[in-house]
């Protein structure tokens, strides 16, 4: 097993897998069948160089990061995971926010942002809030701690391979950082009419969100899987510099191992057991999810997302109505945040994905492949930030509930908008970026041995 403190690019026999020479290999060169990788964004088959801590390897065609190496990866990830779990426990155990207006007030804990929604007959929205903010991050952190403890003891703990598979699936759905923005928007809305106090849970949650982000960035999945299962040889005859799909190959999206696809097109990775994703034209699943999100976007905007009651006067507010209300009150920055997160981002994401699905079918394509893949990356990144409005509703519903005197209830639009966010995220995940690069010429040469800068702040090496 590889030393957890210093990952080595070596075969099980102890020989170096790839030299660090600066030779250029022409496309089609058959190299060592170890340490081959398929770029998940452009489908190019590449040979990884020897990578030292603080360095990374990027695809020479599309720029996608294949591997990013860290110093002492097990110790680093374990320390961050434990610290993040501690801040999560503090966030749940103490008061989150309290407010007081003319002797009428309330104090809530973090978990009440979900439990109150259940009492308001919005169990699906409550489940979404609970999963993205608390449950899935906790599962991720516990899983990562379990893996790191086994690797540090040189004996992987039971079920390590199955547990390691969960990390990639859980990561996109953890939204503690988005919840922080939602909390700040809620506070600004309340501060204009009441005295607000921030509990210990609020400050620990802000630290928790930051540590969770650092923890996910600390995971070196390439080193992790090499330490757990070593690495089998790639299929015979693999040609570096050409598309993997043209050779009947597929790279595992979880552990990175190159596999030969069966004739049926359906198979599982030999190392981690995850289903392989062969390239298929059309992106029909993405189009179906986009159609469903467009249908749900109509009630999300037509129905109120929350209903405010003040001194017996009930006022429903749609997403656009809430933006206009902030503008009338002079809160232009908050109005801009809500408009961007709840209107501009979902609409732009749906239009961008629809355009990408259309343009990959055309012979004459208006933008270069580099610009199209950049548009896809932006689209995939921004989708989760639409959850800001959902979190604002969850916080306000839990905090302001004093009957006919002053209370806020979730409207029918809350569930519809949550569905739109989930569907658009799934649509972006199901879009196959390899379709952007179909028909592209292989690079003239790929420097398959250089490793680049050793400074983390200047990591710019290419495979």
3-state secondary structure string across 312-380:
CEEEEECHHHHHHHHHHCCCHHHHHHHHHHHHHHHHHHHHHHHHHHHHCCCCCCCCCHHHHHHHHHHHH
Tens digit of each residue's pLDDT (9 = 90 or more) over 400-433: 877 666 778 888 899 999 999 999 999 999 998 9
Cα–Cα distance for residue pair 146/25, rounded to 1 Å: 40
Q: Which helix or strand (DSSP H or E) is residue 126 part of?
A: helix 123-130
Q: Specify the range with the lowest mean pLDDT, choosing from 2-11, 194-203, 235-244, 266-275.
A: 2-11
Domains of the chain, residue spans: 31-69+232-270, 73-223, 284-437
**Which among 384, 368, 365 is positioned nearest to 428, based on CA atoms?**
384
Q: Which helix or strand (DSSP H or E) is residue 406 part of?
A: strand 406-410
Q: Which residues contact 219 (CB under 8 A, 6 or more apart)?
A: 73, 77, 144, 167
Contact 161, 147 (CB under 8 A): no
Query: Do the domains 284-437 and 73-223 match in fold?
Result: yes
Task: Provide the pLDDT for residue 15.
Answer: 37
Task: Provide the pLDDT for residue 451.
Answer: 36
Contact 357, 380 (CB under 8 A): no
pLDDT band at 131 (very low <50, low <70, confident <90, very high): very high
- For residue 189, the SS3 value is helix
pTM: 0.84
CATH numeric code, 284-437? 1.20.140
**Which among 131, 142, 136, 145 is positioned nearest to 170, based on CA atoms?**
136
- Parallel/antiparallel/unpaired status of strands 258-260 and 249-251: antiparallel
User: For 72-89, b where at least 16 C-beta lie within 10 A, e where not — what string?
Assistant: bbbebbbebbebbbebbe
Task: Provide the pLDDT for residue 17.
Answer: 40
pLDDT: which is higher, 365 or 107: 107
Cα–Cα distance for residue pair 56/458, rounded to 1 Å: 10
Matching residue, tokens 């065609």? 61
Tens digit of each residue's pLDDT (9 = 90 or more) over 427-448: 999 998 988 887 766 665 544 4
pLDDT at 363 over 70: no
Return the top range by mean pLDDT from 15-24, 309-318, 349-358. 349-358
State which fold the 73-223 domain adopts.
Answer: Butyryl-CoA Dehydrogenase, subunit A; domain 3 (1.20.140)
Contact 2, 35 (CB under 8 A): no
Q: Which two tokens stand for residue 56?
A: 């990374």
Task: Provide the pLDDT for residue 287.
Answer: 92
Q: Specify the range with the lowest mean pLDDT, choosing from 19-28, 273-282, 301-310.
A: 19-28
Task: Provide the pLDDT for residue 286.
Answer: 92
């Amino acid at each position: 097993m590889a030393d957890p403190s210093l990952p080595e690019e070596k075969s099980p026999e102890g020989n170096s897998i790839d030299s660090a020479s600066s030779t250029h290999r022409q496309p089609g060169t058959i190299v060592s069948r170890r340490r081959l990788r398929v770029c998940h964004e452009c489908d190019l088959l590449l040979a990884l160089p020897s990578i030292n801590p603080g360095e990374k390897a990027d695809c020479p065609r599309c720029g996608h990061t294949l591997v990013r190496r860290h110093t002492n990866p097990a110790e680093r990830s374990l320390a961050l995971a434990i610290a993040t779990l501690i801040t999560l426990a503090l966030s749940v155990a103490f008061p989150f926010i309290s407010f007081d207006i003319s002797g009428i007030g309330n104090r809530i804990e973090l978990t009440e942002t979900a439990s109150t929604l259940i009492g308001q007959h919005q169990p699906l929205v409550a489940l979404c809030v609970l999963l993205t903010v608390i449950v899935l991050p906790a599962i991720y952190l516990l899983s990562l701690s379990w893996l790191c403890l086994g690797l540090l003891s040189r004996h992987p703990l039971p079920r390590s391979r199955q547990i390691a598979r969960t990390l990639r699936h859980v990561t996109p759905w953890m939204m503690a950082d988005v919840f922080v923005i939602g909390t700040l928007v809620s506070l600004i809305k309340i501060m204009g009419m009441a005295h607000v106090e921030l509990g210990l849970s609020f400050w620990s949650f802000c630290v928790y969100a930051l540590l969770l982000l650092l923890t996910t960035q600390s995971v070196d999945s390439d080193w992790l899987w090499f330490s757990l299962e070593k690495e089998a040889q790639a299929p015979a005859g693999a040609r570096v510099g050409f598309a993997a799909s043209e050779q009947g190959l597929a790279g595992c999206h979880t552990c990175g191992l190159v596999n030969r696809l069966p004739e049926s097109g359906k198979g599982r990775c030999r190392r981690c057991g995850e289903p392989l994703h062969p390239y298929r034209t059309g992106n029909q699943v993405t189009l179906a999810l986009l159609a469903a999100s467009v249908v749900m976007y109509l009630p999300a905007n037509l129905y109120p997302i929350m209903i405010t009651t003040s001194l017996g006067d009930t006022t429903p507010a749609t997403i656009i109505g809430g933006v206009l209300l902030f503008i009338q009150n002079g809160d232009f920055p908050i109005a801009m945040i809500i408009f961007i997160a709840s209107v501009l981002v979902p609409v732009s994401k749906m239009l961008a994905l629809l355009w990408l699905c259309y343009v990959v079918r055309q012979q004459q394509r208006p933008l270069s492949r580099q610009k199209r893949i950049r548009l896809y990356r932006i689209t995939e990144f921004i989708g989760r930030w639409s959850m800001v409005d959902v979190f604002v509703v969850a916080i306000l519903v839990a905090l302001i509930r004093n009957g006919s005197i002053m209370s806020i209830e979730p409207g029918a639009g809350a569930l519809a908008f949550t569905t739109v966010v989930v569907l658009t995220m799934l649509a972006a995940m199901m879009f196959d970026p390899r379709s952007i690069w179909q028909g592209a010429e292989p690079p003239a040469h790929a420097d398959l041995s250089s490793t680049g800068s050793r400074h983390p702040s200047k990591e710019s090496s290419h495979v």
